[in-house]
Structure 1
Amino acid sequence: MSDGYGADPDALADVAKGINAALSELKELGLIGDATMGRGFGEIALSGLEVGHGELTAVLDEFCGRWEWGVRALMAEGSRFASDLGLAAGAYHDAEQYGLGVLKVAANAAVGNPHAGEEDVTQQSFGQIWDNGVAAKPDYSGESFRQAAQSSQAGWNAALSDEEARGKN
């Protein structure tokens, strides 16, 4: 029973694309590869002469170092999340298609064409399964009954000849 939750595979793929686009934007802020490695922020460090105080310079250097590691961790996590999300969208879509195929095969077994193969059935809509099975127009013509009688007689004759052959052995 569903709680009303669902996931649209296209929406999941869009989220993954958005995360990848954001990561690409971050990469453009620095040299190629700097953003993914958390580098480039050391360039904003100032000397003690520029800042005017040695302790302030040390605090700024420590901040830049932490910032680089934080950005590196965020880039790695964002990339991993986007990859996992893309894989989840594909897995969700595959599971949805498999479940739908199972339902179509079950519906065909109940009301559809008994001669249709599983691959053919999964390609049909539920309406086509219905139309090709129970809702199909039966042929009640005299010719149809004559062919059915001939087919039935041929089946009986084959069964009798098989039984006679088995009795002789």
Structure 2
Amino acid sequence: MAEGFKVDLEALDTAASGITNTLAKLQFKKVSDLDHKKEDIGHDHLADVLGKFCTRWEIGVENLGKDAAQVSQRLNASVKAYAQLEGQIAGHLHGTASSTGGEDPGVK
């Protein structure tokens, strides 16, 4: 016999909120904010390489941010779907119990 499964909606909601909060913080922190001026680095070629690295890194961070936003949206959608289904099942069970006068229909 199958044991079934349980979905921890609070954990899904917490994960989605955590991702959303992290993304909100990231929008104020850009890789391009790293100082890579040639006069500060002290070496022209190294400053150029660091600048190119930061540009590529920023693109990677942006892509990760987009992916994380999708994960958060899908977690939120899952929470909503599970909660809605749980409400429907509870309503159905309440209706079944009410229609039998409060007696367990499995007893008959």
Provide the C-alpha distance between the structure 1 equivalents of 2:28 and 2:38, rounded to a whole number of angstroms: 30
Q: Which residue of 2 aligns with 1:59?
A: 49
1: CA distance between counterparts of 2:21 and 2:33? 25
CA contact (8 A) 1:12 1:89 kept: yes
Residue in structure 2 matched with residue 130 of structure 1 by the alignment: 103
With over 3 angstroms needed to count, the CA separation of the structure-2 counterparts of 1:47 and 1:25, relative to structure 1, is closer
Q: How many angstroms does 1:6 deviate by? A: 1.6
Is 1:80 matched up with 2:70?
yes
Higher relative contact order (CA 8 A, sep 6+): 2
**Percent of residue pairs identical:** 28
The aligned counterpart of 2:11 is: 11
SS at match of 1:75: helix
Structure 1 residues 68-89: Cα deviation after superposition (integer angstroms, max 9, x where no partner)? 1122112212222111111110
Which structure 2 segments of 5+ residues have no match? none
State the shift of 1:60 in Å.
Answer: 0.2
Residue pair 1:45, 1:60 contacting (<8 A) in 2 also = no
Distance in structure 2 (CA, Å) of the matches to 1:66 and 1:50: 21
1:71 aligns with 2:61: yes
Q: Secondary structure at the match of 1:7?
A: coil
Identify which of 38, 62, 73 aligns with 1:48. Answer: 38
* Structure-1 residue corresponding to 2:86: 96
Letter in 2 for 1:90: K
> Number of residues paired by the alignment?
104
Q: Which has the larger radius of gyration?
A: 1
Counterpart-to-counterpart distance in 1, 2:52 and 2:10: 43
Q: Which amino acid aligns with 1:97?
A: G
Q: CA deviation at 1:2?
A: 3.0
Q: Which amino acid aligns with 2:10?
A: D
Q: Tell me: CA distance 1:42–1:28, structure 2 relative to 1, closer, same or farther (3 Å).
A: closer
Deviation of 1:14 (Å): 1.9
